[in-house]
Amino acid sequence: MDAPLSTPCNIQICEVTCDSFRIMWDMTPEDTARATHFFIDLSRKANRDPNRFKHRDVPTKLVAKAVPLPMAVRGHWFLSPRTEYCVAVQTAVRQPDGDYLVSEWSQVVEFCTGDYAMEHLQQLLDKAKGSAGRLLKFSVFYRNQHPDYFDYVRKECGGLMRPALKDTSGSHGSPISGKLHGVFFSCNTEFDTGLPPKDSPYGPLRFQIPAGHLLNPNICLYFADFYCMYTAYHYVVLVLAPVGSEGDAFCRTRLPMLDLASNPFLTYTASQRPGEEPLYCHASDVILEVLFTEPVHLDQGGVEQISGHQLMSLTTANAKKDPSCKVCNISVGR
């Protein structure tokens, strides 16, 4: 009768990405020579909200032929970005009759997958370019909120709209969600008027600021996300960060930088003649969400009542991305 296999110990996880990791453990020399297969038991950490964007539910038991450790485990069909997992391993020897002699399960080890890497964001960017449409002129950025918000800014913040932590809306693996602070603005205009839309999902008061205050040669522009919410229209998230700022330093190693004068989403073109205004343009076929990483003072613009309706059903606050959309999903965890 074959001697039993020892229980794998000292489980280590390394080189974790948004949809892969490497795993290794200690084995006796005898077991290393005998083992023909490894069994990997992978499951989401208990008592956590499930990531609803998976094609299959975990736990997932993987059977792999024995290879030199560390062993790579990858696959977007069972791994999601920014998700906590539990993993345990068994070693096994396949018998002549097809059955397996297996070790006891190892202790359970926990780890968390990472954000989208630059290569994944580049894939999203390439997809977003195909949906951007033509460029339209605009002259102001705007931010809609409730009266209580602007009252608080005036009374408690000295008129300064301070950056807030980016929520979890959009792609699950976006590097800025829950990590980058900023003040969100819009810039999309209506086709017939060239002005901001009359309606808003975010509040009945609108702060408007001349475009040049936020978009100029001293600003770096970054692409951060591309998503939809089970609708026909899509959102592109952009970051505006003053050169050399903390926001700029955060984005520079995590997000693709865009050329201010030549990109499909948001452009600045310097004036060609003395006395002329610069030209500002936005993409026509996507909704831009622009995150400015520094405080903005109300004195730089003005607050007015919108003339249309407040459409709360269209808000994107903590909105989840449609995992089935072929336009805005890439072949890594959603």
Locate the domains of the chain by residue range. 9-112, 118-314
Residue 247 phi/psi, 5° resolution?
-60, -40
Torsion of CA 216, 251, 254, 87, to 10 degrees: -150
Enter the pTM of the model.
0.86
pLDDT, tens digit only, all 334 positions of the chain: 578 899 999 999 999 999 899 999 999 999 999 999 999 999 888 654 444 333 334 446 788 899 999 999 987 667 889 999 999 999 999 999 889 999 999 999 999 999 999 999 999 999 999 999 999 999 999 999 999 999 999 999 999 999 999 998 899 899 999 999 999 999 999 888 888 888 887 889 999 999 999 999 999 999 999 999 888 889 999 999 999 999 999 999 999 999 999 999 999 999 888 888 899 999 999 999 999 999 999 999 999 998 765 555 555 565 678 888 999 998 775 4
* CATH no. of 9-112: 2.60.40.10
Cα–Cα distance for residue pair 169/96, rounded to 1 Å: 52
The answer to whether 67 touches 120, Cβ cutoff 8 Å, is no
Give the model's pLDDT for residue 306: 86
